[in-house]
A and B are shown apart, each in its own frame.
Chain A
Amino acid sequence: MSAALHAADLSVPGRLEAVSLDLGPGELVAMVGPNGAGKSTLIQALAGLLPAHGTVQWNGQSLSHIPAAERARKLAWVGQEAHFEFAFPVREVVAQGRFAWGDDLTGVAEALAELDLTFLADRPATRLSGGERHRVGLARALATQAPIQLWDEPVAQLDVRHALEVMRLARRLVDGGATVVVSLHDLRAAYRFDRVLVLDQGHLVGNGRPHEVLTAALIRQVFRVEATFVESLVPELPEM
């Protein structure tokens, strides 16, 4: 399998220590770890949004050599913070996802619908709840139609229905050949991903299939809690 994204020795002083990993097409990847483990830093470094040592390559091409607009068409990022200081209507914010495509509006209406924002499309983004703002951020990333989607804690502020819908959306994108990386705190949800990355104090300490990685021993070592995995307690994603 050819790697869609290949990171080698990614380091950010004090925050990330020589992380190497490959992300393939059609992979749904969970990123877990305690607060301050470096999840956001790794996601930002993979997206080329902060100065880091090491390299990130997209199909053999160094990300830092790809012009900003071209990179934006390959790689979308959703940050943990979703603040909007200016009262752009929701539709306009989502349409910003098309900037790198010369502002053609393909997929904007669909992105709004996917995140259940159609009825809010004309509302100023400054007048949304925290969860709604996060959905706007996700819709904007979706509108880019980038094959690699990096989402930093996308569901932490969402209600249960919207959180499930976002997970289903991620699965659909992956089924269509995309790579989706999602950082999250819900370890039970992480079992349903294709792969789990575990970060601890800036080190990548786990990288593999959920059952192999999320062992009681590793959870004890990283999170300092006792946990056992019980198959029947892992929530299935209900079909729509």
Chain B
Amino acid sequence: MRTRLAIPVLVALLVLAFLASLAFGELRLSYAQVLSALMGGGDDIARTVVRDFRLPRALVGMAAGAALGASGVVMQAFFRNPLASPGLLGVSSGGALGAVAVLALAPATGFAAATLWALPVASVLGAFGATGAVLMLAQRGAGTERLLLSGVALNALLGAGTSFLLTTTAGHFEVNAQILFWLMGGLESRSWEHVWMGVPAILAGCLLLLPLGRAMDLLSLGEQSAQSLGVDVRRLRRQLIVLSTVLTALATAVGGIIGFVGLVVPHMLRIAFGPDHRRLLPYSMLGGAAFLLACDLVTRTFPLGLRLGVVTSLIGGPFFLWLLRRPR
């Protein structure tokens, strides 16, 4: 069976991307050097590069990718719409606006020292605001048009807020650069602090989602039928919206706006392995992690200064257009 291959293949891809993330960069290391550095051996430079710079970056990337992949699966089941995703619906933009607000206020409030932990909190708040707005604008089961148009409106609104903050901080070059970082997504100079900030919570969120897969199957085919078949729909919906929003917000907090992962990854895996959420959830977590690491590798290998969010969008944009054209 095809599905039996899924986990080994996805894990192999993830391990490959992970090792490559540790080996590639300005200082090209061999895989032997990477492994010995991980074990605490090798020369000092290699050890520092691997353990202090590339390892946290790779861990943050994996976690963000897994969070966005899982979050996409959840939103698609929740809205019963295969085109729903955190980026298109504006949840990512909400998270980014929250983060950007903290950054923009930092110079005025002398808040800078606290920003590292204020960021994820503000990001979660911003994302919840956006989720609330989407829930009001597009009721569940809303058609694709209404859902996507709500997302367009919300993205524009939140983008305007972010642009406003960007212009008000034009005098502060560093703040401005930091804000641009959020807007285009990226994993540069991620430290162990970012790992602690994002990875455990993302892992916990993913683990909490896994047992909900079967009920999500039923929900994805209709709220009332799910209720009549024994799903506690109100409770499930609450769990799903909270978990997916928190996961998106955390991914945004540690990596900025990274679009299309939540759309592309679940879709490709659904086409390959079917819509069963008990499988699709773990597959999308693994696939999202591998996909994001691969995209991050692209940003590092190309000398153009490509940003991570730019790369995922360069892949995701055409994919989305293909999806829209594809006969269902």
A residues engaging B (CB < 8 A)? 44, 47-49, 67-73, 75-77, 79, 81, 83-89, 92-93, 96-97, 99-100, 103, 125-126, 137, 140, 144
Give the residue of B214, B220, B225, B231 whose beta carbon is less than 8 angstroms from that of A103: B214
The yes or no answer to B188 lying at the interface (CB within 8 A) is no
Q: How far is the CB of A137 from chain B (nearest CB, A)?
A: 7
Contact of A49 among B215, B217, B228 (CB under 8 A): B228
Contacts of B230 in A (CB 8 A): 68-73, 99-100
The closest CB in chain A to the CB of B275 belongs to A86
Given A85-B80, A92-B276, answer yes or no on A77-B221 (Cβ-Cβ < 8 Å): no
Cβ-based interface call for B218 (8 A): yes
Q: Is the CB of B214 within 8 A of A99?
A: yes
B:208-243 near A, CB below 8 Å: 214-215, 217-218, 220-222, 224-225, 227-233
Flag if B225 contacts A77 (CB, 8 Å).
yes
The listed residue with most B CB atoms (<10 A of its CB), out of A67, A84, A86, A99, is A86
B227-A88 in contact (CB<8A): no
Measured between alpha carbons, how far is A47 from B225 in the docked complex, in Å? 10
Beyond A86-B275, A99-B230, 20 additional pairs, beta carbon < 8 A: A48-B227, A68-B227, A68-B231, A68-B232, A71-B230, A77-B224, A77-B228, A79-B222, A79-B225, A84-B221, A85-B82, A85-B221, A87-B274, A88-B217, A88-B275, A93-B221, A99-B218, A99-B231, A103-B214, A137-B225
Of B214, B220, B228, B229, the contact of A86 (CB 8 Å cutoff): B220
Question: Residue among A67, A75, A92 with the most chain B CB within 10 A?
Answer: A92
CA distance A126 to B231 in the complex (A): 22
Count how many chain B residues have C-beta atoms less than 8 Å from C-beta atoms of the other chain: 24
Question: What's the minimum C-beta distance from B36 to chain A, rounded to whole angstroms?
Answer: 47
- Chain B contact residues: over half helix, strand or loop, or mixed? loop
Closest chain B CB from A63 CB (angstroms): 12
Taken together as a complex, chains A and B put the C-alpha atoms of A47 and B218 apart, in Å, by 17
Restricting to B23-82, which residues have a CB under 8 Å from any CB of A? 80-82
Interface residues of B in 178-234 (CB under 8 A from A): 214-215, 217-218, 220-222, 224-225, 227-233
Interface residues of B in 257-275 (CB under 8 A from A): 270, 274-275
CB contacts (< 8 Å) of A79 on chain B: these are 222, 224-225
Among B82, B229, B231, B232, contact of A140 (Cβ-Cβ < 8 Å): B229
| CB atoms of B228 and A85 under 8 A apart | no
